[in-house]
Amino acid sequence: MLALGKLLELTLAGHEPAAKIQLTPEGARLRWLAEGALEITPPVASDSGLDLLLSAGIHGNETAPIELLDRLLHAIARGELKPRARMLFLFGNPLAIRKGERYLEQDINRLFNGRHELQVGAEAMRACELEHLAAGFFSKPGRTRLHYDLHTAIRASKIEQFALYPWHEGRVRSKRELARLNAAGIDAVLLHNKSSTTFSAYTYSQLEAEAFTLELGKARAFGQNQQVNLDRLEQRLHCIIEGSEPDVDDAGLDGLQLFAVAREIIKHSDAFQLHLPADIENFSELPVGYLLAEDLSDTRWEIEEQGARIIFPNPRVKNGLRAGILIVPVDASELG
């Protein structure tokens, strides 16, 4: 197997490879760009025209997606998976991955779309580097651009595998991409309605990629992801990489649950209180009239929306950051 296919081993060891470029027997080029960053270029004759960015480890303890990317890289380096797409593999936060922590000082996934410029520290610098790597990769005109940023969640979820679709003014959501996610085992998609500071929001809004954050189960340590079944996603990625993907159409949306953001719960002060059980699952439904949270100056969040559900509740975030999202079901007809 080509040594550059062992990108995860290099990243965990903090080593820079001696050889920065290697070729597979079929002529695909593997090029090491930076720590945790590997570009793969297929032979010109077999290039499908797709630029595919796969990232994982933006949070260092989300190991199932890291292991998935490692399997894909090994298969390419062994010649078992023959890429027709141009690809960029990114392990987002090497420092946190090595320590098995979500992050060390700052959540990198709150530092994109320029927010890193307002911060200091290693993770702000890494967010800046990831933006530059993605911008360089998606700089070729006339190509299809797709980014999957793979995560696992802090808490359990009533819908285990779901996607977050960023928003940008004037852009229409792609039903084809939603059908592709459905075929890959994603059960629900959350449609954002304003700009965000996540990695996928950056590539969607600034680099014009179709981009998604994929939540793929609960965060566990390396080697303990037997309960996270990523078979359908892995099979679909094989097809996308090799250019052998079955066609998908609007009928492929059948069974896919769609949600829209109703409100974000912002923690303003240390007095913030979130009135939810500590072990509440993502997508738990809350009744109308329920007092969800309180903060200074008699700030109260009460449930007003029918069918409202909570995702990503976290009262321990820093002041000024989101402590949860209220979402409501929507119909595919509202996609436009």
Name the binding residues for Zn(2+): 59, 62, 151
Q: What is the C-alpha separation between 77 and 57, in angstroms, rounded? A: 21
- Percent of the chain as helix, strand, coil, to the nearest 5: 30, 25, 45
The answer to whether residue 215 is catalytic is yes
Of the candidates 59, 68, 92, 50, the one whose C-alpha atom is nearest the C-alpha of residue 209 is: 50
Q: Quick check: 117 and 101 in contact, CB under 8 A?
A: no
Helical ranges in the chain per DSSP H:
7-13, 63-77, 94-99, 122-137, 175-183, 199-206, 231-242
Q: What is the SS3 assignment for 246?
A: coil
Return binding residues: 59, 62, 151
**Per-residue CA distances from 283 to 88, 99, 155, 161 (Å):** 32, 30, 11, 11
What is the Rg, in whole angstroms, of the alpha carbon atoms belonging to the chain?
Answer: 20
Given the residues 160, 210, 215, 281, the one annotated as active site: 215
Which residues are the active-site residues? Answer: 215
